[in-house]
Amino acid sequence: MSAATQARRFDKNAEITVIEKSGFVSYGACGLPYFISGEVKTAEKLIVYTPEYFKNSRNINVFTRTKASRINSSKKTVESVNLKTGEKREIPYDKLVLASGGTPFNLFGNIKNAFKLKFVEDGIAIRNFIEKNNPRKAAIIGAGYIGLEAAEAFRKLGLTVAVFEKAPKILPAADDEISKIVERELSKNGVTVVTGISAEMKNTGEKILVKAGKNENKFDFALIAGGFAPSVSLAKGAGLELGTTGAISVNDRMQTNIPSIFAAGDCVEVRDIVTGTPVFYPLGTTANKTGRVAGTNAAGGTAVFSGIVRTSVSKIFSLCVGRTGLSQHEAAAFSNNAMAVVSTSPSRAHYYPGGGKITTKLIFSAGSGKILGAQMAGADGVAKRLDIWAVAVQKGMTIREIAEADLCYSPPFAPVWDPVLRAANKALLELKR
């Protein structure tokens, strides 16, 4: 919808048609855990604009519950099937934007009462299941952001929750110092965590049996959040090139190898600005930004997407945890002189109520002092501090430059020496050794 809207801005007269398999467009998928927990009362609240709004206000035709079954790139048509009526159509295009998104890995085949959490329908299914069946025990496969946000939602509903992660720790994308802080938070909130074992799952009667090593436990339902693959079958059928990550390969105008076809969102790989290499890192912000770039270019404008620095953040119970740039592991693979420091300091003036500790892990180049990545965890004021690091990483700034930054100070919001400055100062001392 970002692409469609941006195309409309650039071309007032173009005929713009959107084909969408699910029943919803323009929704906040990242809000689904808060819909499940009831913090967001209705699924409708997650929706930004309806198909009717797009038609009436932006003259964009939206066909929901309509599946694009084939792209015929030589004829320049998309074959579609209306999933309600079965009606087939062949829709011509001059320019096409493919935003086929991604799909959670289906790790265990067809298990009854095992859900995924990607589409609005998934959230509704889980909430309906909980309301109707009054379950007591939930298993979550995968301890990434979605799995842990769902764990919080399920705990808020009073369920017993166990999270299974095959990696040796939760939040595999974070470094150990940060993962451990989150692990303590999960434990404090009564979430059982099982790491380092590949869980197996099957139905036994009305229950789901999860086997992790020698341990077997029964659950009333499960959420499968063990990773995510780009949906590329349409792309492959159209002859679009995939990149090294398996996602669709595009240039910085979000154009595929077929010049009339652009691609954007969770189905493409994008450039990591630090390493210069393509990565598959599907997140809402990137999807929106790449959508706008694809829409602009498809409509005859000129826009460029410069890439990402893998910034992400999540609320896990009272913690905010996030990262930007490279983790220490990723930095070690990229450069042989990456260093790291870990610094913990208060989020507000020590005497001002409501603050908490923020732990910062800062990864930088021992030679130049260039900031390669940062991770943070804490209860107060973490997310937008992470953005300071995100900008620093994206612009190739050094730790000295951040140590010198004139950041704001007022007791309710920060101590004189902000956690960002403390981490930079600590790194600076390491650099001088």
**Which one, 234 or 402, has the nearer CB to a second copy?**
402
| CA separation for the pair 27, 120 (Å, rounded) | 8
Which parts of this chain interact with a second copy (CB under 8 A)? 28, 30-31, 34, 39-40, 45-46, 48, 145, 273, 283-286, 288, 306-315, 320, 322, 324, 349-353, 381, 383-388, 390-392, 394-395, 397, 401-402, 404-414, 416-418, 420
d(CA 210, CA 170): 18
Q: Which is nearer to a second copy, 79 or 401 (CB)?
A: 401
What are the backbone angles phi and psi of residue 245, rounded to the nearest 5°?
A: -85, -10
CB of 123 or CB of 226, closer to a second copy: 123
- Closest-CA residue to 319 (of 386, 378, 375, 382): 378
Q: How many angstroms separate the CA atoms of 247 and 242, rounded?
A: 5
**Closer Cβ to a second copy, 136 or 409, answer by number:** 409
If the CB atoms of residues 202 and 315 are measured against a second copy, the closer one turns out to be: 315
Structural contact between residues 365 and 358, judged by C-beta atoms closer than 8 angstroms: no
Q: How far is the CB of 28 from a second copy (least distance, A)?
A: 5
Nearest approach, Cβ of residue 405 and a second copy (Å): 5
For residue 399, what is the enclosing H or E element? helix 399-403
CB 145, min distance to a second copy, A: 8
Given the residues 30, 267, 320, 408, the one annotated as active site: 30
Alpha helix positions (H), 137-283: 145-156, 176-188, 233-238
Residue 157 C-alpha from the chain's centroid: 24
Q: Please indicate whether residue 408 is annotated as part of the active site.
A: no
Positive/negative CA dihedral, 108, 231, 278, 310: negative
Q: How far is the CB of 416 from a second copy (least distance, A)?
A: 5
Nearest approach, Cβ of 142 to a second copy (angstroms)? 17
C-alpha–C-alpha distance, residues 412 and 404, integer Å: 22
**CB neighbours of residue 182 within 10 Å:** 22
What are residue 319's DSSP bridge partners? 316
Return the active site residues.
30
